[in-house]
């Protein structure tokens, strides 16, 4: 059994790996290196904190189902009172007529894994969600369970506190140098000059994982991409509104008495966003609002309350997480590149990585499709359902 695991990054992924190491019986030292314990610029705290099982890759469906069960039973699992305000109200994903066959293919994958996702023809959609305009919709798929939203900050705080309960040490510091010798990381240097010589290093540095790995000479295409969230009020009762993904790519969901919404920018205006946390208001004016008002006519009257921007931890190779050991640096473990679905996958990913360190292989979810090998060998594992 290794004696010390150093986790670089104390966001939801780092906290989850740390907690699950203890859950899996790791008795050595667990050190989480986090440069900003206020988490002001962490993806976790700036996210939309939503969870869906409607993915196109079986491993992502499995990670989401694990996450939903974790959220439902959080206090019992963590062994401490934790309320993250989990609202299980489904994603409604709308597809245009040409995409109906693809939506049905995905539905088959999800149902084969036990997901309860309902299929709505346009007329049935209009009856079930009377505030929705459905003229140009081909099909709507709606998750009946294991989908919804929660408070990411509360989840992070709960997992961090539960990890501390189990003697995980959080260290406020920046990891700024990793040294390899003999096919192993032999040294992690912190900005204050401290040097660590861990048995395992877990890269959980979120959107900064690519830069961190570059210091080792490892080419990991994980970079920050700015994504904005707009919070608004509107003359629409939100109590029966699920998370809605429109055919335009715009999304919205209830938040308090109002809603939050967003859209991914076109790839042609989506630069790496190091240091840029300025919300893009023109994106809201020009794309999000018109799309949502066309889909939900009462949103023509909305009043914007505020907006913020965070960073997707984008894996530019195939928009999927990188999980598991490096094939050549034998004590380097990846837990990064979640590309916009890392909060929902944190429990499953944390467990899988902990299992690999403690037991030498996965026991709960087979994460081998997400191994680093695919990146190194140019074999993308494509996730079709990304936003
Ligand atoms: C607008 C937006 C909406 C999103 N919506 C959702 C959603 O609905 N559902 C979902 O599942 N996901 C969503 N995501 C994605 C999700 O937030 C991320 O995938 C997830 O938070 C990744 O967690 P993390 O712990 O890896 O990253 P982070 O939370 O960013 O944590 C990484 C930590 O590493 C630290 N760090 C980095 N480098 C170093 C270093 N060298 N030394 C020390 N510390 C370091 C950082 O300070 C940071 O706190 C969204 C993201 C954004 C931006």
Ligand 1 pocket test target in 10, 11, 15, 222 with most atoms within 8 Å of CB: 11
pLDDT at 254 (0 to 100): 98
Query: What CATH number does residue 194 fall under?
Result: 3.50.50.60
Residue 66 and residue 158 share a domain: yes
Residue 387 forms part of a structural domain: no
Residue 384 forms part of a structural domain: no
303-315 β-sheet, strand order? 117-120, 139-143, 91-95, 243-245, 251-255, 258-262, 222-233, 303-315
Apex CA 160: angle with CA 155 and CA 164, to 5°?
150
Residue 257 and residue 120 share a domain: yes
Residue 234 and residue 215 share a domain: no
Q: How many residues does the chain have?
A: 387
pLDDT at 117 (0 to 100): 98
Residue 118 forms part of a structural domain: yes
Four-residue CA torsion sign, 211, 212, 218, 221: negative
How far is the centre of ligand 1, averaged over its atoms, from the C-alpha of 237 (Å)? 31
Q: Is the Cβ atom of 348 under 6 angstroms away from ligand 1?
A: no
pLDDT at 31 (0 to 100): 98
Q: Tell the residue nearest (CA) to atom 27 of ligand 1.
A: 206
Residue 232 and residue 208 share a domain: no
Q: Is the Cβ atom of 350 under 6 angstroms away from ligand 1?
A: no
User: Final residue of a domain: which of 267, 286, 311?
Assistant: 311
Q: Is the Cβ atom of 36 under 6 angstroms away from ligand 1?
A: yes
Q: Tell the residue nearest (CA) to atom 25 of ligand 1.
A: 11
Residue 358 and residue 251 share a domain: no
DSSP state of 144: S
pLDDT at 200 (0 to 100): 98
How far is the centre of ligand 1, averaged over its atoms, from the C-alpha of 75 (Å)? 23
User: Final residue of a domain: which of 294, 311, 328?
Assistant: 311
- How does the average pLDDT of the chain come out, rounded? 96
CA torsion angle for 227, 232, 237, 239 (degrees, to 10)? 40
Ordered DSSP codes for 322-385: EEEE-SSSTTEEEEE--TT-HHHHHHHHHHHHHHHHHHSS-SSS--GGG-THHHHTT-----S-
Q: Is the Cβ atom of 46 under 6 angstroms away from ligand 1?
A: yes
Q: Tell the residue nearest (CA) to atom 50 of ligand 1.
A: 47
Q: Tell the residue nearest (CA) to atom 35 of ligand 1.
A: 9
pLDDT at 1 (0 to 100): 66
Structural domains of the chain, count: 2
pLDDT at 16 (0 to 100): 98
pLDDT at 383 (0 to 100): 83
CB atoms within 10 A of CB 122: 18
CB atoms within 10 A of CB 91: 25
Apex CA 232: angle with CA 302 and CA 234, to 5°?
40
Residue 133 and residue 230 share a domain: yes
Domain that holds residue 345: 4-79+151-221+317-376
Give me the residues of the chain with pLDDT under 70, please.
Answer: 1
Contact 203, 334 (CB under 8 A): yes
Residue 168 and residue 64 share a domain: yes
Task: Summarize pLDDT for 225-274 with one digit per residue, the tens.
Answer: 999 999 999 999 999 999 999 999 999 999 999 999 999 999 999 999 99
Ligand 1 pocket test target in 343, 345, 349, 353 with most atoms within 8 Å of CB: 343
Query: What CATH number does residue 260 fall under?
Result: 3.30.9.10
Residue 140 and residue 279 share a domain: yes
Residue 335 forms part of a structural domain: yes
Ligand 1 atom index nearest CA of 310: 53
Residue 240 and residue 213 share a domain: no
Task: Summarize pLDDT for 60-100 with one digit per residue, the tens.
Answer: 999 999 999 999 999 999 999 999 999 999 999 999 999 99
Residue 245 and residue 125 share a domain: yes
Ligand 1 atom index nearest CA of 228: 1
């Amino acid at each position: 059994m290794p004696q010390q695991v150093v986790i670089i990054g104390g966001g939801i992924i780092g906290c989850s790996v740390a907690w699950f190491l203890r859950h899996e019986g790791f008795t050595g030292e667990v050190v989480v290196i986090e440069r900003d314990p206020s988490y002001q610029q962490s993806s976790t705290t700036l996210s939309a904190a939503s969870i869906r099982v409607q993915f196109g890759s079986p491993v992502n469906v499995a990670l989401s189902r694990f996450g939903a069960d974790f959220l439902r039973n959080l206090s019992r699992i963590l062994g401490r009172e934790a309320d993250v305000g989990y609202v299980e109200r489904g994603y409604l994903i709308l597809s245009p007529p040409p995409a109906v066959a693809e939506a049905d293919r995905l539905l088959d994958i999800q149902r084969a894994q036990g997901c309860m996702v309902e299929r709505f023809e346009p007329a049935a959609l209009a009856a079930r969600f009377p505030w929705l305009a459905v003229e140009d919709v081909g099909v709507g798929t709606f998750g009946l369970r294991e989908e919804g939203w929660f408070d990411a900050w509360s989840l992070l705080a709960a997992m961090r506190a539960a990890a501390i309960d189990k003697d995980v040490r959080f260290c406020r510091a920046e990891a700024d140098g990793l040294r390899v010798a003999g096919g192993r990381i032999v040294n992690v240097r912190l900005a204050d000059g401290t040097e660590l010589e861990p048995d395992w290093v877990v890269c959980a540095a979120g959107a900064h994982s690519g830069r961190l790995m570059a210091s080792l000479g490892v080419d990991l295409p994980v970079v920050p991409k700015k994504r904005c969230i707009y919070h608004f009020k509107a003359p629409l009762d939100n109590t029966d509104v699920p998370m809605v993904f429109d055919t335009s790519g715009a999304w919205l969901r209830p938040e308090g008495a109002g809603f939050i919404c967003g859209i991914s920018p076109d790839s042609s205006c989506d630069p790496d966003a190091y240091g840029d946390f300025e919300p893009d208001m023109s994106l809201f004016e020009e794309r999000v609002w018109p799309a949502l008002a066309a889909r939900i006519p009462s949103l023509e009257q909305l009043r914007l309350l505020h907006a913020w921007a965070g960073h997707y931890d984008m894996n530019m190779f195939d928009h999927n997480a990188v999980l598991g050991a490096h094939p050549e640096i034998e004590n380097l473990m990846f837990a990064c590149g979640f590309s916009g679905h890392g909060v929902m996958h944190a429990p499953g990913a944390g467990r899988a990585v902990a299992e690999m360190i403690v037991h030498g292989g996965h026991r709960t979810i087979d994460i081998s499709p997400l191994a680093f090998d695919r990146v190194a060998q140019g074999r993308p594992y494509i996730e079709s359902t990304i936003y």
